[in-house]
Amino acid sequence: MSSRIVFDTINSDVLADNPLSDPHVRTLPIYLPPSYDSSTERRYPVVWMLAGFTGRGQMLLNDNLWTPTIQQQLDALIAGGMGEMIVALPDCTTRYGGSQYINSAATGSYADHLVDELVPFVDGRYRTLAAAEHRGVMGKSSGGYGALIHGMQRPDVFGAVASHSGDTYFELVYKPDLPKFLNHIARYNRDPQAFLEAFFAKPKKGGSDIGALNVLAMAACYSPNPESSGLPIDFPMDLYTGELRPEVWSRWLHHDPVELVERYAENLRRLKLLFFDCGTRDEYNLHYGARILAARLKAANVPFEHEEFDDDHRSISYRYDVSLPKLAVALGA
């Protein structure tokens, strides 16, 4: 018996006519475990694996000399005794690099796309255990953020959460990048639209451009403004002086997981697993955010598992060897 990857095509009603004119037809890779084709009466838990910023599900299938694909990783874990699960790898990217897996008037309704379209699609097409207690969500970086947010807001859909280096405590993860963004767009007369046009025109994209794009994307997700005369975005700082705009920054904090614990504590207590980790040398200070999240969860009497490991933010998919078996147990695999 061997596992296989199926590539489904999703024609999304939710993403049709999205504000960025991004494709509404998306590819959804599905991992079907080794026994799926032979055990035709068996049903399986489902884990939704969310990619990080500028990533989508297919990137987890890329071949690398020293890093196993997610299919190889799952196969090895199952061969070692982990319960079998279906794993879905959605594409929730935008032309800005990512959606944070939430709804925004500046990018589109990506939370609705994930929860109201993709989850029912998979449950209707494959032999899943179609209940929250058998459905988990996990991810790294922005994907880890999405996992936390959906665990907080939709325990009726996702019964277990694993977040690797997820965006938490915006004061430390995003604020340090705001002046860097301002310095970058100063090259374009402080015009974010001009920066975007230059970025899209470049044959090679990377470096400080991606850092600036990340700030713009977060503003699109957390503080959209369809009434703006330029991009449909409110930035949390004055683009000339750099002074923080408290009324906009407060809108960002409305999406910060550490600020949402008290509001969603009852939902979080319903989860069968709330696991999160972070490297102790994370370049975006996310290890501090994870520690703050742990403290606030503890104060709210929310059960959780928090781990730290000796590494930075990048190339940490080996940590899925920790979270996937935990999810398998929690989801009854």
Report domain extents, the chain.
4-168+257-330, 172-253
What Cα–Cα distance (Å) separates residue 82 from each residue in 147, 163, 238, 268, 321?
A: 21, 19, 51, 25, 10
Phi, psi of 220 (to 5 degrees): -65, -35
What integer pLDDT is reported at residue 196 of this predicted model? 96
Cα–Cα dist 314/316, whole Å: 6
For residue 35 the two structure tokens come to 């026994």
What Cα–Cα distance (Å) separates residue 107 from each residue in 99, 183, 216, 218?
A: 7, 25, 11, 10
Report yes or no: 117 and 24 within 8 Å, Cβ to Cβ: no
What integer pLDDT is reported at residue 288 of this predicted model? 98
Cα–Cα dist 135/141, whole Å: 20
For residue 292 the two structure tokens come to 């703050």
What integer pLDDT is reported at residue 326 of this predicted model? 98
For residue 65 the two structure tokens come to 């000399």
Residue ranges for the chain with pLDDT beneath 50: none
Burial class (CB in 10 A: 0-12, 13-18, 19+), 5: middle
User: What DSSP character marks residue 68?
Assistant: -
The helix (H) or strand (E) run that includes residue 150 is helix 142-153
Cα–Cα dist 236/242, whole Å: 9
CA angle 57, 60, 62 (to 5 degrees): 120
What integer pLDDT is reported at residue 63 of this predicted model? 83
User: What CATH homologous superfamily does 4-168+257-330 map to?
Assistant: Alpha/Beta hydrolase fold, catalytic domain (3.40.50.1820)
What integer pLDDT is reported at residue 65 of this predicted model? 86
What integer pLDDT is reported at residue 84 of this predicted model? 98
Cα–Cα dist 1/69, whole Å: 18
Tokens 């590539």 belong to: 7
**62: amino acid identity, one letter:** N
Report yes or no: 199 and 193 within 8 Å, Cβ to Cβ: no
What integer pLDDT is reported at residue 230 of this predicted model? 87
What integer pLDDT is reported at residue 32 of this predicted model? 98
